Structure formats: C-alpha cells, structure tokens
Amino acid sequence: MSMYDSIRQVLTPIHKEGYPFIAIAAVASLVLGQMWEPLGWLGLVITLWVCYFFRDPERQTPVRSGLVVSPADGRVSSIAEVLPPPELELGDAPLRRISIFMNVFDCHVNRSPVDGVIERIVYTPGIFINADLDKASEDNERNGLVIVTGETRVGVVQIAGLIARRIVSFVRETDALLAGERFGLIRFGSRVDVYLPLHVQPLVGLGQRAVAGETVLADLTGTEPAREYRCA
C-alpha cells in the first residue's frame, strides 16, 4: 500500500458543503494572525474544527429489508408516541417518533433510514430554539421527507437548532434512496426525527449514541419487543 493510500484511509473526507466555510475560516485566520499572532492560532483551531464539523465518513450500512437505520450521528434524545407533523400528511393517529440530537461535534451529514422512494418533501419555516427540546418538532425550522418503503410510509424530519441556520437537501421528490444513502445536511447543531408505525418497536434506548447509516433503530418486519437498557 502506498503512502498516499495510507493517508487516505486515516483522513476522513470533507463534504463539499464545507469548503466555503473552511476557506472563510482559513482566510480569517491569516488576517487575524497578521494583526496579532495569538489570534491567528485561535483562527487555526477554529479552521480545524470547521474541517472536523463537515467531515463525511463512509459508513457500513446493514442490508436487509425492513431495517431502519439512524439518519444522523448523535444521541437518542426521545422515543415517544406522538402525532406526526401535519405537513407530512401521515395521518392523524399517533406514530412512534425516535429523535436523534446532534451537537456541534457530531457529523451532520444525514442518511436515509430505509430503502425507498421519496413521496413528499416539505420545508417549513420556523424559529431556532434548542433542538433538544420536545417542542422543537413543532416550532423550529424543519425539512420533512416521506419515504415509501414497501407498504410503509416513513417520515424523516431535519430540524434546525439553536445554532443551526441552514438545512441543506440533496434530493427531490420521486428520488429512490438506499438505506444509509446521504440525503441532506444541517449546519451546526440540530436534530432528526424518524416517524414509524406505532406497532414498530424501538431497538435503541434513550441516551444511546447512534451512528448514521449504521445503528439499527427498529425493524419494520420484526416481532422483537422493545429492548431494555442499563448504564454500565
């Protein structure tokens, strides 16, 4: 293996959405460094953090019909039975919602939780409160997708947070997605909600760390009861 290949295996790719922000941070670092050297070093740290924030690693997605994988890196902040957002048109009966909260150190590239076809995409303007709060699902700026997989319609909602000010979508209605395929990105701290049929039991626990495209949240075809967890 060449030195170049070895370095590529160690370094995580950066998503192209991050290039403008990295360039701005780098130029600002140079300018600040000319003004006062300690500010230049601070700018360098910020530039490295921006590179880290926009990382876009490859993921190993489990492949089996019915599996629902996490759409985001982060912490499972909520598992609840709630009414889905009306704009998704998923009906007026409660669904199971699994929420993944991303802090500013998590990878913010979002991935499809299931194989399927995008039936609906709806952007809803809103405010920017802490995405970890339950009411953020209703009040915050968000972008919702409905993905049809077999006979099931799964809702996925990107929610802007206290710091996040931009939800980026890579897909359109009628696009076909594979589980684990990238569909969007949220800049700087946010949350993603997944809405599943009520009979589908979660296979993750509150507070668990999820990895986008890899952690199995649920099984649409399974009969396993909800798992119990303990801190260790």
128 and 101 Cβ atoms separated by less than 8 Å: no
Active-site hit among 29, 70, 77, 190: 190
DSSP secondary structure letter of residue 224: P
- For 192-221, give one letter per residue: b (16+ CB within 10 A) or e: bbbbbeeebbbbbeeebebbbbebbbbbbe
* CB-based contacts of 58, cutoff 8 Å, min separation 6: 13
- Does residue 70 carry a catalytic annotation? no
Please report, for residues 97, 180, 210, the alpha-carbon distance to residue 221 in angstroms, rounded to integers and kept in the order given. Answer: 17, 18, 21
Residues in the chain: 232
Six token digits for residue 115: 């194989």
Q: Please give the order of strands across the beta sheet that includes 190-196.
A: 176-177, 116-124, 142-149, 152-160, 190-196, 95-102, 74-82, 209-210
Question: Under the phi-then-psi rule, with left for phi > 0, alpha for psi from -120 to 50, and beta for the rest, what region is 197?
Answer: beta
- The catalytic site residues sit at 190
